[in-house]
Amino acid sequence: MSGSNPHIAIILNAGMGNMIPFFRLASVLLSNNCKVTLITGKPIVSLAEAKHLNFFLSKNPQMTHLEYQILPPEPDSKADPFFLQYNAVRRSSYLIHPLLRSATFSAIICSFLTCGTIPRFAAEIGVPCYVFSGASAKFFSFMIHLPAILKDPEIGDKKKNSSFWEVPGLEPFDMSSIPGAFLNPKHLMAVDAMVNAKACLEATGIITNNFEWLEPETFSALNSGRVLCGTLPPVLPIGPLECYEVEEDQTDCLAWLDNQPHESVVYVNFGSRTPMSSDQIREMGKGLEWSGSRFLWVLKTTIIDKDEARQEEVLGVSFLDRTKEKGLVLRKWVNQQEVLSHPSIRLFVSHCGWASLTEAAHRGVPVLVWPQFGDQRVNAEVVEKAGLGKLPRSWGFGLERLVEGEEIAAKILEIMGDGSLRSSAKKVKEEAMKATEPGGTSHCTIMKIIGS
């Protein structure tokens, strides 16, 4: 991609965890004199996405916005609405082709989760195509190896008899870290993953919200052909992608944090689409209260947006009353990038969405990693290895078991008092900053892609 003012098409994917990194990337490109065309599908799943998209477009009027109609979702009322949307966007990818012909683009960027026909079409029209992976490099390695795993005639026996999956060039994957849906060739998630894993081999490169220091062995295995022999395009870390202007926080949480002592607050947020069960919410409440810590808890009980149940019904009046001096519970969107930067934050309890983990890495905030589904368990292992977090393995993966208040309180106290984790998290921050500053590995990669 060379010449002045490169024009880049960004094809947005569903879900806040995908949308926010794409907006960050678009902001970086705009601030480096690129023209950006944002391509979005309709309808959109959640109000949160619609609001963020509107705000982002209103703040960047120089950007071109193109829309296409997404095909109807598969009729599966039990499936996660975001997975249905990924599937529909992937199946609709041919509808984006005319939009990609409507201007002379210097590059096209699309999401790994929905790339479908885009890399091949980009190759046909002679435009470089970068596929964006929003998970850890380790989980991405698993995903691109999935077609080989699922083709293995012994897969059934291996699932029954083995506790590890072999991915060439990497340490074996603990079977319990991989959601069963990916290992069922008929499951929608596995079907999409296989199509996308094959499609992304036709891209110019894979870009990822990550930095080389965080997963050196995995990047080395991916880029030396050990994971997929000679067929994988270069995997290029360009993160942690950071801050763009988001709508002002509508809650009073930043003012509340201003009144808390330095490094005293536990921040709990399980992301934009991971609800907690009522039983687990009660135990979480006990854990926070019994730890005696100050806490900011962003509570979610539904997959899409917020439900209407009142705070008191979910948590009980007495809990809210007992903890009102020490804790703030919110059921609204907070500005997480500002929360994690606040000097009062000591610990982040996270579901391990990759966007949240990269935000914690960039700010050196230690994380109690409590993965719930999808890529999150592997992401959790990655940040634990890098020294950013601690994974209580006995808590299981997602809904495997109810984690009791006593265990939660003990773990919070243990991690809050862990000086060596605090130092290693600061080291992670230093390395993240080095990667993103001018001359850093991620910064240079972005500049190379833009062609400056």
Positions in the binding site for ligand BUP (CB under 6 A)? 15-18, 20, 269, 271-274, 298, 333-337, 353-356, 359
Cα angle value 215/14/87 (rounded, 5°): 95
Query: Quick one: 174 or 338, whose CB is closer to ligand BUP?
Result: 338
Closest contact distance (angstroms) between CB of 395 and ligand BUP is: 18
Closest contact distance (angstroms) between CB of 39 and ligand BUP is: 19
Preceding amide of 43 cis, omega within 30: yes
Can you tell me the distance from the alpha carbon of 243 to that of 223, in angstroms, rounded to the nearest whole number?
Answer: 28
What is the DSSP-derived secondary structure letter of residue 99?
Answer: H
Closest contact distance (angstroms) between CB of 386 and ligand BUP is: 17
Closest contact distance (angstroms) between CB of 31 and ligand BUP is: 19
Pure H helices in 32-176: 47-59, 81-91, 97-101, 118-125, 137-151, 155-161
Query: Quick one: 268 or 415, whose CB is closer to ligand BUP?
Result: 268
SS3 label, residue 294: strand
Q: At what angle do helices 419-436 and 441-450 cross, to 10 degrees?
A: 30
* Beta-bridge mates of residue 207: 132, 236
Length of the chain: 452
Phi-psi domain of 420 (left: phi exceeds 0; alpha: psi -120 through 50; beta: other):
alpha
Query: Quick one: 105 or 270, whose CB is closer to ligand BUP?
Result: 270
Closest contact distance (angstroms) between CB of 60 and ligand BUP is: 18
Query: Quick one: 128 or 271, whose CB is closer to ligand BUP?
Result: 271
Query: Quick one: 337 or 341, whose CB is closer to ligand BUP?
Result: 337
Query: Quick one: 290 or 373, whose CB is closer to ligand BUP?
Result: 373
Closest contact distance (angstroms) between CB of 388 and ligand BUP is: 14
Cα angle value 221/195/49 (rounded, 5°): 95
H-run or E-run covering 219? helix 216-223
